[in-house]
Amino acid sequence: MTADPPLVLDIDGTLTRPDGWGIDPRIFDPIREWDAPVVIATGKAFPYPVALCHFAGVPELVVAENGGVVYTGDDVFFTADRDAAQAVAEAYRAAGYELGWGEEDTVNRWRETEIAINLEQPIDPLREIAADYGLEVIDTGYAYHVKDADPNKGDGLAVIADHVGFDLADCVAVGDSINDVSTFETAGRSFAVSNADSDAKAAADEVLEEPHADGTLSVLERVQGTHA
């Protein structure tokens, strides 16, 4: 008897359409029909992956904010403190820069542990200010994230696996950027889509030939029904 292995999926760059923006609708049915846990592990704020699970019709198993927020389906864990990241955002603004998401800033509005800055904003002063507060800045290719260096997606995945009761060694992970390296190190098998950055490609067991959702769909086809 074989089953599907647990999945760990990043969002941006991984479930996205070929042009890189927006969820590719072809991923919804395979995820909905997957007969094992599907964990969404993202740098986006908590409501985004929760909504993705909700609209896909799958249980909410979520690592958000690069590991700062973890939801096991029963309990929410916050593994970082937003105050330092918020202070960096204020100091960056005080130095004359903007976060770059407009007045109402729906990118950061519901963030609980980190701050995201638009890639069009200057990164050097951001890195300097973040260092003053003991934080790091990572570039996912979709945003700069000012975050505590400790929490990461991989640790969040481990919390969910422990709670739900599946083995990390059985997990198949797909991702595209530096914030997926910890996932790749934690999951048993890992795949970087062809559009992935050099960190993700170096950490993955395999680099796919296809980009974005095409790459992810190829992995789903390949690993479906292969879990002993």
Ligand X SMILES: O=C(O)COP(=O)(O)O
- Binding-site annotation: residue ranges: 10, 12, 153, 176, 180
Q: Indicate the Cα dihedral angle 193, 196, 198, 203, nearest 10°.
A: -50
Residues 186/168, Cβ–Cβ less than 8 Å: yes
We find the least distance from the C-beta atom of residue 90 to Mg ion, in angstroms, to be 27
Q: From Mg ion, ligand X, none, which one binds at residue 44 (CB under 5 to 8 Å depending on kind)?
A: ligand X
Contact status: 65 vs Mg ion (CB under 5 A): no
Q: From the CB of 53, what's the least distance to ligand X, in Å?
A: 13
Contact pick of 12, 114, 170, 197 for Mg ion (by CB under 5 A)? 12
Quickly tell me which residue has 């918020």 as its tokens: 86
Least distance from Mg ion to the Cβ atom of residue 184, Å: 12
Can residue 43 be called a binding residue for ligand X (CB under 6 A)?
Answer: yes
List the structure tokens of 14: 């991984």
Site stretch for ligand X (CB under 6 A), options 7-15, 51-59, 75-83, 202-210: 7-15
Catalytic one among 10, 148, 170, 197?
A: 10
Terminal C-alpha separation, the chain: 7
Whether 124 is catalytic: no
Q: Is 154 in the site for ligand X (CB under 6 A)?
A: no
CB atoms within 10 A of CB 135: 22
Span interacting with Mg ion, options 7-15, 100-108, 149-157, 212-220, rule CB under 5 A:
7-15
Asked if 179 interacts with ligand X (CB under 6 A), we say yes
Question: DSSP alpha helices (H): ranges in 7-139?
Answer: 28-33, 47-56, 82-94, 123-132
Name residues contacting Mg ion, limited to 149-208 (CB under 5 A). 176-177
Question: Which residues have CB under 8 Å from 65's CB, separation 6+?
Answer: 43, 44, 45, 46, 80, 111, 112, 113, 114, 145, 147, 151
* Residue type at 96 in one-letter notation: G
Q: Give CA separation, 154 vs 54, 117, 131, 176, 198, in Å.
A: 22, 23, 23, 14, 18
CB of 207 to ligand X, least distance (A): 17
Note whether 143 binds ligand X by CB under 6 A. yes
* Chain residues that interact with Mg ion, rule: CB under 5 A: 10, 12-13, 176-177
* Chain residues that interact with ligand X, rule: CB under 6 A: 10-13, 42-44, 140, 142-143, 177, 179
